[in-house]
Structure 1
């Protein structure tokens, strides 16, 4: 059932078919869809909760292969509720996750998010006044912030599996750097790295940032510099050759990085 709200930029629905979601996405809405109970194809793992599942989607991530029915749907236009700037600043990146990277909720988390949607619906169905849009914006933001909090909790729940993924990623970077391809091919494309791990680029980026504090670019540069230090310590290769094989523009550039990050100079590693 779709509820007519006092604000045209907001749509709320209950017990609605999931075929509605791509239509809303193509119309420029950000869509939250709550599924109860979740289906296995939403990417639930053995370590995840199983009381409900939540996805967010946009025109760029139109979902497919979803359960037939959504328990709740909330769709809004970001600019109308002050969310556009937050998205441009990197918040709510989980809207760009795939549907099989859904958030799997505990009963308590489901209750909180359901309460947020109830509050949103209650305000949206009131007669409009000069406070309406401001209050709705705060309620939308509150709902998204709770979803973000629970997304972070899920990274913690999946700690062991995530460590294995990052170990695979580090192994790939080590092999890439030792292959000699860096001077010709440059920094590996984050989208391709995510694909190797069977993740969306957005999920991969958030996972890496949560686990290491780095973006894909900064993490790769740290691994590259760590490789340079290891080669300086454990091989007889000259410094200029190491710099060239790892794609550094000059030995002087490598010197500066080693001093800044590790507090050492390359020639010190050779003593």
Structure 2
């Protein structure tokens, strides 16, 4: 596996001209001219990437599978994403671009501390943002401003303007994803119902003793989603994240066992997957405001 740690290395691998800025670049897919020897090689991209494709031809492999971008699809990847150059359709040109920037561009800036808010950087490729024509125009306009800024003579304002435009682009992406969740209401509702059923199946003492406490990652994998996409979808539809759903379900099991059995606290903790009784006690106190023993006493009385 080859690490891509800089913009200049990225340009070299893709056969593009020398970059105009050391920390940020926009590459038109039509300008990519990779050497044949670099196809079917895995790369670790240690840059942020925002990729737009306007047709169904896609040479890049994200993760372990191809993804066809249909009619204006925007995809995001955080540093550490594994990609490769596939050899299928190698003679076809793709309409679109990839905007890549090094973490150092925003490091220490306010945007650096806000990046966790843009959870779509951790989505899977098949969870790409599908843009309307109007949204596509907005994205292209913002990106054109970014290109103008890094292509000109740099001055003391350049970095601030680059970062400001990046933040505007990410905020629009957040809005557009919100719209996408809303317009897919029927699919989302079905997914929520499937999630709740799956969670109930995994939140029994028998299941927990066998496979452990349910996790967001495990539930997301079972449903074919990335953890962030699943949580964001649930949050938009129900107001609760996947982790909050799990906590509530675990709390109901704990309450039932405390109310209906005489099992010691350490055994109840063990039954619902807590390795340490102290962790279970802390969990109950945070959720109910009292210790497990006090909660049991209140219910008995």
Structure 1: distance between partners of 2:282 and 2:150: 58
Structure 1: distance between partners of 2:74 and 2:80: 18
Q: CA offsets per residue over residues 37-92 of structure 1, 9 Å max, x none? A: 35697478xxxxx64111112443334679862512211112213343322xx222
Contact 1:61 1:98 in 2 (8 A): no
The residue number in structure 2 matching 1:36 is 54
1:86 aligns with 2:114: yes
Q: Within 5 Å, which residues of 2 pair with 1:127-142? A: 127-142=153-168
Change (3 A) 1:2 1:142: farther
Structure 2: distance between partners of 1:201 and 1:57: 14
Contact 1:5 1:124 in 2 (8 A): no
Structure 2: distance between partners of 1:257 and 1:58: 33
Change (3 A) 1:51 1:181: closer
Structure 2: distance between partners of 1:96 and 1:176: 25
Matched length: 257
Please provide the CA RMSD for this pair: 3.9
TM-score, reference length from structure 2: 0.68
1:8 aligns with 2:22: yes
Change (3 A) 1:179 1:156: same
TM-score, reference length from structure 1: 0.75
Change (3 A) 1:7 1:186: same
Unaligned 5+ runs, structure 1: 45-49
Greater relative CO, 1 or 2 (CA 8 Å, sep 6+): 1
Contact 2:181 2:233 in 1 (8 A): yes
From 142, 145, 149, the equivalent of 2:175 is 149
Unaligned 5+ runs, structure 2: 1-14, 59-65
Structure 2: distance between partners of 1:118 and 1:108: 15
